[in-house]
Chain A
Amino acid sequence: MSSAAIEVQGLAKHFPLSGGSPLVRRRVLRAVDDVSFELRPGNVTALVGESGSGKSTVARLISRLYEPTEGRILFRGEDVSKVRGRRNLVRYRSQVQMIFQDPFASLNPVKRVQHHLARPLLIHGLVPRRDVSARVEELLGSVGLVPPDEIAQKYPHQLSGGQRQRVAIARALAVEPAVILADEPISMLDVSIRLGILNLILGLKRELDIAFLYVTHDIASARYVADEVLVMYAGQIVEQGRTDDVLQTPMHPYTRLLLSAVPDPGAGLRQDRLPSRSARDLGAFGAGTQLVEQRPGHYVRESIT
């Protein structure tokens, strides 16, 4: 197993909740709580969860858009959680990139595709100015956007959603990163387009040995691309392991609940009813729990007793 590109240890992010007088300690929202995992080169790690599970916050913590409240983030063994100084930050950003959920919102509507790809190249001084155009076209070709010279001159609104997302991926690739954090990259795309992007991710992980973090609420897509799956609930990881270990033999009740709720026409046309809210078993989570290795490489959260 190659050494980790990113290692996250005990990561936590608390957001203060408004309300309450300044004298009383503010209530906090534990958006992320005690999260630890690794991103390895050439591997896709899926972070699966519902809204409010904290999965997007984890991605933003790793991309340094937020600062962690607790815990460490190690990049190739070096602690970058509280990196200070513009130069260090820029260096980090040349290695860890991010793709956002909304393909339209993540591109500047008044700038051409060319601008979006040229900026990272220029900021990080990767290519001499005269070679920028050529490199931009190369990047566009590598994500399947052809003809590249035409696409480079277009504005975002002239492209389809799938094309825009490919531009976003090309932008991330421009700096030749070691890590790409993809935050729900396909959830806003048309169904028939999604596979194209997933296949692109698979191709990039194999060819460029990039470590991917794939954040999603769509378990089926996680199964398709990911080597490892982490299931999140209420800011914590409740189950973690190789994809088929977790999805075919789920051990945490919450994982089981999630899997039973996913529409799966192949599994017989009428699935069992979900148990009612009061009867529902969400398993162990919150304070007083920890991840326990139930089988080799397969961790499940349990109460500490």
Chain B
Amino acid sequence: MNELADKDVAVADDPAAGVEPIAGAGIAGPQRRMPLPAFARQLLRNPKSAFGIAVFAGIVLVSIAAPLLTHGNPTVPNDLPGQAPSWALPFGSTDQGYNVYTQVLYGGRLSLLVAGSATVISMAIAITLGLLAAYSGGWIDDSINLLTNIFLVIPGLPLLIVISSFLTATGPWVMALIIGLTSWAIETRILRGQAMSLRNRDFVLAAKVAGESTPRIVFGELMPNMLSRIAAGFAFVFVQAIFLEAALEFLGFGDANKVSWGTILFWATNNSTLLQGEWWHFVFPGAAISLTILAIVFVNYGIDELSNPRLSSKSVRPRRRMLAGMLWPRSAAA
């Protein structure tokens, strides 16, 4: 018996594991698989991912509600230049007289929008290519693999820089597009791997024997079983996209007239704020980016714990004991 096994390896006797290949018991709910609503609910119940979701939701709300939270106009320099943070200027002002607080609030909209769109484009490609490659096999798999390998090998940011330099105008939509079109490779490979492990499962064969068509099997049977990994994929790519967007803007490849966290950082460098000691110009947008990424990372923790129940905080004490036992065999209490 594999107690608490999260795979159906053999006869499971353990009621808490809930999975019994030599089945017969009406044992409720194995933890390893759950239909969609339950998975989403679990995410909210897990403290780490709930925290991440809350923080991220907060950031999104703040960006949307920017006009309510600040009276200023981010594109108009209305304030006294070079002011440190104060009551009137919570995040201070730039050398040109822009209100950093207003800019960070409004800037969130663009950054999140670009990153979000890029993520959607990227994942759409990854899901289609990954699942298709896994299910079809043969030359389709080979060609997709070749393409994936090429994009995996070429480093992301330098590629984006090269592409940006060729384009005349890199507005936010163009940026979302190019980020989306270059960051799909890793997720494609990962999703393909997972789909391959599912492809030979009996329920896929059963669908085939029932007469289902290939697209229906791929999107109707395989994909719903991969939702948790796809969600994690969205999270990973989003983090990457936020970073890439900020990096491109920071390096000056974006449209410097738009307001996003990255462009704020661009102007901060331009104004040599570090040398002048005007820390507020770059710390606050930087903190916004970091906070967003942190929130997503916490959501990922939650997703991790969901897919592998042994990592969950409920088993922390026994885990610590086990760890202690491994390091100091004699001293750990039995």
A–B in direct contact per CB < 8 Å: yes
Chain A residues engaging chain B, CB cutoff 8 angstroms: 63, 65, 86, 89-90, 93-94, 97-98, 100-111, 119-120, 123-124, 155, 157-162, 164, 168, 171, 175, 188-190, 192-193
B158 at the interface (CB under 8 A from A): no
Contact of A190 among B19, B23, B213, B224 (CB under 8 A): B23
Chain B residues with Cβ under 8 A from A164's Cβ? 23
What's the minimum C-beta distance from A210 to chain B, rounded to whole angstroms?
Answer: 15
Closest chain A CB from B128 CB (angstroms): 19
A100-B205, A193-B24 given; name 11 further pairs at CB < 8 Å.
A93-B211, A103-B23, A104-B19, A106-B203, A108-B203, A111-B224, A119-B212, A161-B20, A171-B210, A189-B24, A190-B24
Which chain A residues border B203 with CB–CB below 8 Å? 105-109
Q: Chain A nearest CB: distance from B19 CB in Å? A: 8
**Residue B275 is within 8 A (CB to CB) of chain A in the complex:** no
Name the residue in B8, B23, B26, B27 with the highest tally of chain A Cβ atoms < 10 Å from its Cβ: B23
- In the assembled complex, which residues on chain B have CB atoms less than 8 Å from the CB atom of A189? 22-24
Contact in complex: A110, B35 (CB < 8 Å): yes
Q: How far is the CB of A11 from chain B (nearest CB, A)?
A: 18
Q: In the docked arrangement, what's the CA distance between A244 and B86, Å? A: 96
User: Using Cβ atoms and an 8 Å threshold, which residues of chain B touch A106?
Assistant: 202-203, 205-206
Contact for A157 among B30, B202, B212, B225, CB less than 8 A: B30
Selected contact of B29 from candidates A108, A158, A161, A168, CB within 8 Å: A158
Min C-beta distance of A136 to chain B, whole Å: 14
Report B-chain residues with C-beta under 8 Å of the C-beta of A93. Answer: 209-211
Q: Which of B19, B209, B221, B224 has the most CB of A within 10 A?
A: B209
Query: For the complex, what is the distance from the CA of A101 to the CA of B30, rounded to whole Å?
Result: 19
B67 interface contact, C-beta 8 A: no
CA distance A119 to B203 in the complex (A): 13
Give B1-33 interface residues, CB cut-off 8 Å to A. 8, 18-30, 33
Task: Name the distance in Å between A212's Cβ and chain B's nearest Cβ.
Answer: 15
Provide the residues of chain A in CB contact with B36, threshold 8 Å.
110
Main secondary structure of the interface of B (DSSP, over half): loop
Please name 27 pairs of A and B residues whose Cβ atoms are closer than 8 Å in the assembled complex, sorted by A: A63-B209, A93-B210, A97-B210, A98-B209, A100-B202, A100-B206, A101-B202, A102-B202, A103-B23, A104-B23, A105-B8, A106-B205, A107-B206, A108-B207, A109-B34, A120-B210, A157-B18, A157-B30, A160-B23, A161-B24, A162-B24, A188-B21, A188-B22, A189-B22, A189-B23, A190-B22, A190-B25
Partner of B225, one of A108, A124, A160: A108
Q: In the complex, what residue of chain A is closest to B208 when comparing beta carbons?
A: A65
Q: Could you give, for residues 195-237 of chain B, a 1 whenever the CB lies within 8 Å of some chain A CB and a 0 otherwise?
A: 0000001110111111111000000010011010000000000
Specify the chain B residue showing the minimal Cβ separation from A106. B202
> Ordered nearest first, which 7 A-B pairs have the shortest CB separation?
A161-B23, A190-B24, A106-B202, A109-B33, A105-B202, A100-B202, A93-B211
> How many angstroms between the C-alpha atoms of A160 and B34 in the bound complex?
16
Q: How far is the CB of A154 from chain B (nearest CB, A)?
A: 10
Q: Could you say which residues of chain B place their CB within 8 Å of the CB of A109?
A: 33-35, 203, 225
Q: How far is the CA of A94 from the CA of B28 in the complex (A)?
A: 34
Of chain B, the residue at the smallest CB distance from A60 is: B205
Within 8 Å CB of A161, what residues of B? 20-25
Would B225 and A110 count as touching, CB distance under 8 A?
A: yes
